[in-house]
């Protein structure tokens, strides 16, 4: 039983009542129309999902429970989860109790380590993350509760237990992937006497002893945790869990989406772009050289990774938060300078190119250069870092949706001929 159960017991009832009232009193209210260009254009802007944990606006970006992300840059991942799932800031006592629950799961089962070690040496770290999560599915209390015939309105309780365990296992799982996949030596045990999730993650990765490394890991885990309900990873877990599949299935499916270069893998692609630039020009290039390089890429039909967004129309505040971190800690290596030069040049290039609706950077344009600066140079791993964080938001969204007893997702598809005749 998690400390969160007490807080959420009454909230679950309130959410279900609110949902039922909306259905009864305003169920036939029309939210908008759907144009053919939206159907053919990846459902852009179609208001079709419920997500209470966070929202993303075009002109401001991410708010978690209506708090701008820039006001949350000093909180912990544990507090982020608490806020996402309850809508309230945790007290120090609640936070300590939640951390103690998380800490029970920082050591991942040996059979998961064995599964990772048995995978081919060239497996992508994201494939290993998905496989590790699926191996752990047998731990699901939610599936066991469903098998025992637990009623629909109670299932969220065992889902919350799974969520706590899954989120707490992610750092150990990711760190094991890092150490096994990149030949970093033994898998490291968690810290003794320190329940803090990001401290444990920073330690188990074994990347750096610099105290600010822990701060970067904490910030990284907070910034990537949630981005409302319509992005690929969130929507994937929403759909999969709507079939009452357990969180291990749902999060591993979401990780498969996060592994795509237009979504989470963009941070890996971004660092590759920066390294290509550095190698081509033998260091930090001039603004004109970056401009030519960006045009070359665009004319070749490639995207500029880390730029553009389906919703945002301004610089992503998470990019700004990383920039402030770099300034605070005086990180000015070549990669960070290249990130800055790209930022000075690429928006104008994208505007002149005339395709991208948003020429400004997203979070992925900065994050990798900071990981690299602390010695995590294996950029195939960066999306796993993203995944550890994103699991926090995915699990929060799933718990809230299960509290509401959301139904199975089943929109209508049309053939091209049906659209043509519409």
Judged by the rule CB under 6 A, the positions of this chain that interact with ligand CMX are: 231, 262-264, 266, 298, 303-310, 355-358, 362, 364
For ligand CMX, give the closer residue by CB, 145 or 396.
396
Catalytic residue among 196, 226, 246, 364: 364
308: phi > 0 → left, psi -120 to 50 → alpha, else beta; which? left
What kind and span of H or E run contains 62? strand 61-64
Q: Provide, rounded to whole angstroms, the least separation between the CB of residue 79 and ligand CMX.
A: 23
Q: Provide, rounded to whole angstroms, the least separation between the CB of residue 156 and ligand CMX.
A: 27
For ligand CMX, give the closer residue by CB, 196 or 364.
364
Distance CA 32, CA 44 (A): 13
Q: Provide, rounded to whole angstroms, the least separation between the CB of residue 351 and ligand CMX.
A: 11
For ligand CMX, give the closer residue by CB, 199 or 358.
358
Strand order across the 54-57 sheet: 54-57, 61-64, 67-68
For ligand CMX, give the closer residue by CB, 91 or 302.
302
Q: Are 245 and 239 in contact (CB under 8 A)?
A: no
Q: How many alpha carbons lie under 13 Å from residue 125 in its C-beta half-sphere?
A: 25
Q: Provide, rounded to whole angstroms, the least separation between the CB of residue 311 and ligand CMX.
A: 8
Determine how many CB atoms are found less than 10 A away from the CB of residue 303: 17
Catalytic residue among 263, 316, 323, 417: 263
Q: Are 227 and 54 in contact (CB under 8 A)?
A: yes
For ligand CMX, give the closer residue by CB, 90 or 174.
174
Residue 364 known to be catalytic: yes
Runs of H (alpha helix) within 194-306: 197-205, 211-223, 232-242, 247-258, 266-281, 287-299
Q: Provide, rounded to whole angstroms, the least separation between the CB of residue 375 and ligand CMX.
A: 24
What kind and span of H or E run contains 374? none
Q: Provide, rounded to whole angstroms, the least separation between the CB of residue 118 and ligand CMX.
A: 30
Residue 224 known to be catalytic: no
Q: Which whole-number Å values give the CA distances from 411 to 48, 71, 119, 254, in the listed order?
A: 9, 36, 37, 19
For ligand CMX, give the closer residue by CB, 37 or 279.
37
Burial class (CB in 10 A: 0-12, 13-18, 19+), 272: middle
Residue 59 known to be catalytic: no
Spatial CA neighbour of 10 closest among 186, 180, 156, 221? 156
Q: Which whole-number Å values give the CA distances from 231 to 48, 226, 390, in the listed order?
A: 12, 10, 11
Q: Are 126 and 265 in contact (CB under 8 A)?
A: yes
Among all chains, which residue has been given the structure tokens 């329940």? 195
CB neighbours of 73 closer than 8 A, spacing ≥ 6?
A: 219, 222, 223, 321, 324
Q: For strand 61-64 and strand 67-68, is the pairing parallel, antiparallel, or unpaired?
A: antiparallel
Q: Provide, rounded to whole angstroms, the least separation between the CB of residue 318 and ligand CMX.
A: 10
For ligand CMX, give the closer residue by CB, 145 or 311.
311
Spatial CA neighbour of 165 closest among 219, 110, 214, 109? 109
Q: Provide, rounded to whole angstroms, the least separation between the CB of residue 161 and ligand CMX.
A: 29
For ligand CMX, give the closer residue by CB, 190 or 368.
368
Distance CA 124, CA 366 (A): 22
Catalytic residue among 203, 224, 227, 309: 309
Cite the active site residues. 263, 309, 364
């Amino acid at each position: 039983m998690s400390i969160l159960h007490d807080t959420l017991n009454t909230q679950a009832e309130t959410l279900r009542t609110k949902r039922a009232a909306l259905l009864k009193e305003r169920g036939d209210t029309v939210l908008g129309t759907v144009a053919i260009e939206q159907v053919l254009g990846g459902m852009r802007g179609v208001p079709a999902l419920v997500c209470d944990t966070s929202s993303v606006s075009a002109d401001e970006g991410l708010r978690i429970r209506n708090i701008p992300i820039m006001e949350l840059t000093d909180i912990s991942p544990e507090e982020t989860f608490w806020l996402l799932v309850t809508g309230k800031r945790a007290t120090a006592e609640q936070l300590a109790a939640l951390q103690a629950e998380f800490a029970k799961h920082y050591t991942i089962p040996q059979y998961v380590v064995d599964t990772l070690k048995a995978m081919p040496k060239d497996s992508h770290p994201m494939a290993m993350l998905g496989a590790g999560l699926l191996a752990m599915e047998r731990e699901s209390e939610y599936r066991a509760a469903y098998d025992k015939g637990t009623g629909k309105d109670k299932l969220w309780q065992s889902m919350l237990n799974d969520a706590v365990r899954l989120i707490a296992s992610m750092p150990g799982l990711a760190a094991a992937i890092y150490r096994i996949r990149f030949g970093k030596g033994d898998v490291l045990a968690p810290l003794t006497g320190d329940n803090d999730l990001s401290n444990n993650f920073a330690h188990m990765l074994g990347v750096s002893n610099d105290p600010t490394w822990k701060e970067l890991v904490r910030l990284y885990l907070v910034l990537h945790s949630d981005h409302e309900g319509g992005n690929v990873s969130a929507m994937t877990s929403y759909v999969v869990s709507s079939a009452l599949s357990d969180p291990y299935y749902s999060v591993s499916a979401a990780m498969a989406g996060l592994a795509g270069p237009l979504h989470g893998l963009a941070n890996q692609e971004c660092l590759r772009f920066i390294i290509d630039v550095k190698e081509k020009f033998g260091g930090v290039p001039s603004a004109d050289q970056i401009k030519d390089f960006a045009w070359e890429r665009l004319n070749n039909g490639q995207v500029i990774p880390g730029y553009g967004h389906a919703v945002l129309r301004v610089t992503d505040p998470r990019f700004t938060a990383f920039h402030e971190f770099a300034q605070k800690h005086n990180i000015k290596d070549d990669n960070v300078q290249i990130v800055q030069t790209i930022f000075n040049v690429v928006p104008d290039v994208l505007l002149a190119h005339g395709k991208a609706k948003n020429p400004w950077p997203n979070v992925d344009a900065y994050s990798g250069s900071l990981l690299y600066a602390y010695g995590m140079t294996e950029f195939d791993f960066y999306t796993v870092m993203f995944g550890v964080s994103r699991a926090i938001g995915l699990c929060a969204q799933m718990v809230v949706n299960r509290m509401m007893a959301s139904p199975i997702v089943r929109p209508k598809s049309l053939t091209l001929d049906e659209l043509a005749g519409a």
